[in-house]
Amino acid sequence: MKIQTIFLTVSIMATLAISSCSNSATDKDFIGKSTTKFESDLLTPEALWSLGRIGSVQVAPDSKTAVYNVTYYSIEQNKSHSVLYTQSLDEKENKILTTTNDNERNAVFYDGGKKVLFLSNKSGSQQLWSMNADGSGRKQVSDLTDDISEFLLSPDEKQIVLIMEVEDTTNIQKNDEDLPLSSGIVINDFMYKHWDQFVKTIPHPFLAEFDGKRVTVKKDILEGEPYECPLLPFGGAEQLAWSPDSKTIAYTCRKKTGLDYANSTDSDIYLYNIEDGSTRNICKPEGYVEPETDFTRSKENQQVNKQPEDCNVGYDQNPQFSPDGKYIAWQSMERDGYESDRSRLCVYEIATGKKTYVTESFESDVNTYLWGNDSQTLYFTGVWHGTIMVYSTNIAGQVQKLTDGVWDYSVEALTADGLNLIVKRHSMSQADEVYTIALNDNNKITQITDENGFIYSQLEMGKVEERWIPTVDGKQMLTWVIYPPHFDSTKTYPTLLYCEGGPQSPVSQFWSYRWNFQIMASHGYIIVAPNRRGLPGFGMEWLEAISGDYSGLCMKDLLTAIDAVSQEPYVDKDRLGCVGASFGGYSVYWLAGHHDKRFKCFISHDGIYNTQQQYVETEEMWFPNWDLGAAPWTAEGKALKAYTDSPHLSVDKWDTPILCIHGMKDYRILHSQAQSAFNAARMRGIEAQMLLFPDENHWVLKPQNGILWQRTFFRWLDRWLKK
């Protein structure tokens, strides 16, 4: 089918800036909703960055209106802008509340829904502001020295938990005061770096009073404690919760520092009593003593003394009180040191201390959840067979599926009347929009926002197909195949094998603003995306087959998937490429030495090239201890396949052009891995290219860097696969 060019560009500047706003704005260069018309109906990097990205959603007490934030990006200005909207739940009425260049987000209703409390950087730092629900009457309600990163309003609306940074000298000591210009960093223990920063400050929750007009800080709940709350690097206000009577704060914390922190995923739920300032741990029995553990050894030889019964030793996080205040739920992992263990819902009865795990019949992770109004029902999302659906469970653990289709959901809120779940939904062909699920009407799903409909109306998306492919050991593997727009089965197409990261993250119906399957398809490629061994949503045996066996069945699964799809007449076997990031980047480096000339080019982003090097370079040691099996210098480690079959040991077999991409602020997998791979390829005389981002972490977050990433990615593929 001939590609149709059905839209014309309004102007060259409109295409480049993608920052024109359909709403009146008071500030120059306001970055808002795109009104750009595109020359082609194919998804481009510029079109991808023009999409609005919906954030948090909250519902008014009358159950009729939602408030949410959307982030827009300007390539020209190389920055983002977050604004607030209200949306009627029963009509299509949508109103923008904030029309200045200030970033505003995390809005919640208060005062019976008459007002909105939100964060804004208008004053030069991020502070709390309030306004009427129609956007009028904006007033600053906090004026603190430090930025507020997030907040949590109490049910009685008289108190607020504020998340702010405090100085931490636990692992990086403070320099002498008479050397203010010294750039030196004196380091004493692990966790001096985390994800993308050197750790000189950590987040703490502060208790503040709120009279409806002004915020007055009372105290740091963790004052004098060198522990972070929420947990770095991704935790937010969801890791804390108010009790319905506003007298107790539940919070998530891993009360460890240095090497102990780096080795352990053991976080707990604590209850802070506002009246007397006392704190108690509800995950551990009183008098609990930490076991002596050598995490550098194999799992069979790590633990010296046993754990007591009824003791949570894995990740415990994201507490929520039931509406009647009788229970607390949280997400709980069973095993210490295993960050990809199954995340279950634990329900704790406050009066008795009894714990019940209410999602045991669902053999996958709980991603998001919330309580029903009856305090007996919980709604949650989880991945199964490549999609993330909405489920319910009761206190007895009876799980029911509420949604179907080829989508990924997240639960955001429940209306006060209990009739509607507010969810966000996306797929490989559409970014997040907000929907309602009518619980009293056969779970009818209704779309209530149309943030990006104008852009989608201009674009043709490729078909997404579900395939089940037999593996080498007789199992069935779900593989997504994404076809180019205007696909013609009589033609042949270059085809990409996509290698998922994680290493235990699902290939579900995710929508990415970088690893976007539709933009790859729009460049004329078929994409093969297998749910290889090690991914959730297919039971624990499938999930855990990857630990300690990076180069085993999961690599065979990847090759099986591309070999199976390559049998189709429309796949050009002479034009196959292989791409991936993180563990997917490891997969690329490993396959480069074991692909038997299947592929004509490779792309690895933030990949592990040398596993022995990775062990001593990374910061969260629980990851290599569990996944690789042991330290490379131990007796067990010296014989482990994780080290004896590391990608760097097969460079002598590399024979194919490779592009290595890495963020230099990625402290999980250091950029030395990409530099080593690139240098090795060039020394072997192999065509290679390297793209480094000095200011990016494990991801690429800045607009112009994102555009450069996409252009470099496709230039490399086109060079080798479209000759």
Contact 487, 42 (CB under 8 A): no
- Residues 6 or more apart whose CB falls under 8 angstroms from that of 170 comprise 188, 189, 191, 226, 257, 258
Which of 465, 462, 469, 655 is CA-nearest to residue 562?
Answer: 469
CA distance linking residue 637 with residue 111, whole number of Å = 60
Helices (H) and strands (E) in the chain, counts: 14, 40
Which of 426, 413, 481 is CA-nearest to residue 452?
Answer: 426
285: exposed, middle or buried (Cβ count in 10 Å: 0-12, 13-18, 19+): exposed
- DSSP-assigned beta bridge partners for residue 84: 69
Quote the radius of gyration of the chain (alpha carbons, Å).
Answer: 26
Q: Could you say which DSSP state residue 163 is in?
A: E
Tokens 């209410």 — which residue? 358
Residue 666 annotated to the active site: yes
Q: Which two tokens stand for residue 432?
A: 């997040």
User: How many angstroms separate the Cα of 184 from the Cα of each of 5, 176, 198?
Assistant: 57, 11, 12
Which residue among 582, 587, 604, 646 is the active-site one? Answer: 582
Which of 597, 551, 594, 555 is CA-nearest to residue 576?
Answer: 597
Q: Which two tokens stand for residue 358?
A: 């209410």
CA distance linking residue 586 with residue 608, whole number of Å = 5
CA distance linking residue 563 with residue 557, whole number of Å = 10
Which residue among 204, 595, 605, 698 is the active-site one? Answer: 698
CA distance linking residue 471 with residue 541, whole number of Å = 15
Residue 276 annotated to the active site: no
Which residue among 34, 666, 671, 676 is the active-site one? Answer: 666
- DSSP string for residues in 359-383: TTTS-S---SEEE-TTSSEEEEEEE
CA distance linking residue 189 with residue 172, whole number of Å = 8
Residue 698 annotated to the active site: yes
User: How many angstroms separate the Cα of 142 from the Cα of each of 151, 215, 241?
Assistant: 12, 5, 21
Q: Could you say which DSSP state residue 303 is in?
A: B
- Residues 6 or more apart whose CB falls under 8 angstroms from that of 576 comprise 494, 495, 496, 497, 562, 566, 598, 599, 600, 721
CA distance linking residue 138 with residue 157, whole number of Å = 18
Residues labelled catalytic: 582, 666, 698
